[in-house]
Structure 1
């Protein structure tokens, strides 16, 4: 994301910005007239002791001041509304993009880190959007108005003040380069902190069990110290920028007394003109200072713009536009392969699933079973080959509609910090037939709050088996055509396991696909697909109560 991208975001606020500019023209007019009123008050009122003229000038100055304050208040209100709206839209866009990017990015960096980094960068951008970015429109008109007034008062003094601008600009350029470098350090160290925090939060149980408290606390201290040191350098550089600029400005403004004295002696300037000029000279340098400060801040957030730009360049899922049909007859894997980080995870996978079949996918750990499911769910994309749904590549289907075909129980079950009802009915629809499955619902009905029981963070208030039962109810609630279960009973007790197997025998989904290490569930299946080192080593179909061929690894050998 570049500065031009920010400016493009502002296009939708053209009317509001035009209003700010129109009001700024009024402020500019007041700013141009005010020095002459002050000069007149001194020369014709105070020096001549003409009290009515002094009162007249004072009334005008107060009136102009009050009008300027009202205008600036209205401008600020418009500015805040625009700023808040830009902030909300940018954050909404970021969180939406973060939820849509391909799952491989999560595997590489972790979703918490990706989103945290993006929001860190957004906050850096908002630091100018909420304070100075829109102010620049007001300042430009103030500079013009005051500048015109001061040049009309005395062009020689005005030239002395104008000479400040290139001097401050050169200093600003020098310090801005250092600001960008330090800002990059701050960004990198915050990203390292987000990576560390995600790792520790996910591994908190291991931190406790392996006594890693002191080690992780030390790591945290080192990370925070690094961030604080870089932030300190950033703040001190900002202070140095302000101090150097203020010092140069003070030298020039103080020197104006000497120049003004010579002009008065030569009768080319009145005392009132000098006093008015000196009073308003700082009003000319202040907008210039803020303008250069904005340039400094823009340079400072350049690394954040680059980082946020990289975030928005992450490829999103989807691409297809076809709607799936009302019925699905077959799912086909044709020469499917997947390579991740230079390693072949799946190679030349070929098989067909037909409507009405119940299929088990078996194999040792790391053989590619869950990866195969992720490909079917379009969480990954094949490196080679293609997956077909009724002879159409699944990539051609609109991804949201395609995923509605599936009811899924994953290995890593996530429950939201909400009631059991809300965790089952993610679509907001009322409970249906799934609430009549005793082995899944008995433990819910046995609780005092029933379906309103809170699951806790990540389902922490439930046991592993209970979480799997909620996940099964959730999958059934969708009433999908394709039922995909990845190790759905790994935490079940024996009785629940038997009840599950009985339920699966009676299952009527168009397709049932189960990844499992448990042998007893195989009797409920119509066919088995065995994976070994990313390749299919056996596809065995059941004939009656017998398997047609025995070519499976030892844990699943049939007698």
Structure 2
């Protein structure tokens, strides 16, 4: 929770000039609100009762001018409130994206993207209420309430005490309602996370649902999971209704007491009609604003669980990146006695591996042999249990992780294609023109400018497996790193493109290549071949 509070405080400091402006405008509005009932009293007592029309016009003109100024001030405040809230939402998305870039990828493997996206979006929506106008205006109402109490006391102390009696009563049921609401919202976040994860699985697994005729089973589960969430939302809504009903009953009781006592004073000529109207106005300055001020506890009950959830996300483990060194020119990459285990099972055991600048090395192994783990170790997504991974004879952890990864052109077994043109999926950094892309990819495939305008859907779902793999390979060629790390890049290629891939590997003459595959071949263009089996890496060529 501390992390999110610090980020919110940091944002508020950057907005301090806008808050100062809002405070000044609020102060002026409060002063106007304080004097308006007194001016109304003067219109009635000094103008109407004494039949002095000039005073009626004079004080009415002052009220009109004050009201115009107050409304202009309200518009300016509303604009600034909206801007502050929108900027805070942008700020939250930015710090979340910054966190996603640094987060340990193992944290994201526990759920699907739909669950993460929907939950974070809901959390941002809730937390942004901190800078919502309805929340920030509470400070205005707090000052208005204080002004109202002063105004009431100026007119009659006994009436003031009657009005103030309702505050502790309201506070008692507000505390009870908000405690329950906070419990509901905490449970609602947990249930929503589980639902979004399940819902995302339905979308990703829609083919299986169709093929296995799982409609009835999935509909039954949907009804069960939705009922759980909807019941909690219903409970939260009803708490709001109960609170509003209690407010209305309490306010009505206070008004009846005021009318009873104040009516007695007016009828006995102890209080003027103008003073009574002013008193009623000041009463409204207290009753409604105090209801709003105390309603902040309801807002906090909604915000607090999301703040905790966002803070937990922002405090998630990050990739280890203590290194400060720049890589410079690549010379060699070496594994020395590297071991890695998962769930107490050895995936890699005492592995040695070496690739020098300009060499082409193949690593072969069947599915599940640990090839992907080897790739993740090279890319520093995970760290070895024991042993060392050296780049240019220094531990890879000595290098800045982003600079280190810039060394590699990667065609991974699992890659993502963005909903964009082929051009922008080839060149993710948008640094190359069409001629550069064509030039860099020609050692694998001949491209033309027209095909690069083709739009693809999210993750290339409108492409075949082979076409997706081609995009990944061209992407690696466009990056043109010093080391080409190709993980199962031949998995979805037909015979024609397998031949093209072999030619590409041969033509990467000045590049270092680490080619990981389950496909057995003669590897005549490789300087070394390793076989990964039973958690051990053995050089066979």
2:436 alignment partner in structure 1: 432
1:530 alignment partner in structure 2: 531
TM-score for both structures, normalised by structure 2: 0.93
Structure 1 residues 266 and 388 mapped into 2: Cα distance closer, same or farther (>3 Å)? farther
Alignment of 1:319-334 (within 5 A): 319-334=321-336
Alignment of 1:77-88 (within 5 A): 77-88=79-90
CA contact (8 A) 2:37 2:278 kept: yes
- 2:387 aligned to 381, 385, 389, which one? 385
* Count of paired positions: 537
CA contact (8 A) 2:409 2:482 kept: yes
Query: Counterparts of 1:129 and 1:400 in 2: how far apart (Å)?
Result: 35
Query: Counterparts of 1:140 and 1:468 in 2: how far apart (Å)?
Result: 62
Q: CA deviation at 1:280?
A: 2.7
Alignment of 1:461-500 (within 5 A): 461-500=462-501
Alignment of 1:269-418 (within 5 A): 269-418=271-420
Summarize deviations over 1:363-407 as a string: whole Å, max 9, x none: 222121111101111122223333111122212211221111001
CA contact (8 A) 2:327 2:403 kept: no
The SS at the match of 1:378 is coil
Q: CA deviation at 1:60?
A: 2.4
CA contact (8 A) 2:174 2:243 kept: yes
CA contact (8 A) 1:413 1:467 kept: no
Q: CA deviation at 1:321?
A: 4.2
1:117 alignment partner in structure 2: 119
Query: Counterparts of 2:183 and 2:107 in 1: how far apart (Å)?
Result: 27
Moved more, 48-57 or 386-395: 48-57
Summarize deviations over 1:136-191 as a string: whole Å, max 9, x none: 23222222222222221112211221222222111111100010011112212211
- 2:62 aligned to 37, 60, 63, which one? 60
1:169 alignment partner in structure 2: 171
TM-score for both structures, normalised by structure 1: 0.90
Structure 1 residues 368 and 136 mapped into 2: Cα distance closer, same or farther (>3 Å)? same
Q: CA deviation at 1:226?
A: 2.5
Structure 1 residues 331 and 185 mapped into 2: Cα distance closer, same or farther (>3 Å)? same
2:458 alignment partner in structure 1: 457
Query: Counterparts of 2:90 and 2:235 in 1: how far apart (Å)?
Result: 30
Structure 1 residues 387 and 439 mapped into 2: Cα distance closer, same or farther (>3 Å)? closer
1:140 alignment partner in structure 2: 142
Query: Counterparts of 1:380 and 1:399 in 2: how far apart (Å)?
Result: 12
Ranges of 4+ aligned residues in structure 1 off by more than 6 Å: none
CA contact (8 A) 1:98 1:115 kept: no
Query: Counterparts of 1:460 and 1:435 in 2: how far apart (Å)?
Result: 27
Alignment of 1:37-76 (within 5 A): 37-76=39-78
Moved more, 340-349 or 104-113: 340-349
The Cα RMSD (Å) is 2.3
1:231 alignment partner in structure 2: 233
Q: CA deviation at 1:313?
A: 0.5
CA contact (8 A) 1:483 1:509 kept: no
Query: Counterparts of 2:411 and 2:382 in 1: how far apart (Å)?
Result: 17
1:502 alignment partner in structure 2: 503
Alignment of 1:86-105 (within 5 A): 86-105=88-107
CA contact (8 A) 2:181 2:302 kept: yes
Q: CA deviation at 1:293?
A: 0.9
Q: Which runs of 5+ in 2 are unaligned?
A: none
Query: Counterparts of 2:436 and 2:481 in 1: how far apart (Å)?
Result: 13
Q: CA deviation at 1:346?
A: 2.7
Moved more, 294-303 or 107-116: 107-116
The SS at the match of 1:142 is helix
Query: Counterparts of 1:434 and 1:346 in 2: how far apart (Å)?
Result: 39
Q: CA deviation at 1:323?
A: 3.9
- 1:30 aligned to 29, 32, 56, which one? 32
Summarize deviations over 1:185-221 as a string: whole Å, max 9, x none: 2212211122112222332333333333443343333
CA contact (8 A) 1:375 1:382 kept: yes
Query: Counterparts of 1:293 and 1:8 in 2: how far apart (Å)?
Result: 25
Structure 1 residues 342 and 220 mapped into 2: Cα distance closer, same or farther (>3 Å)? farther
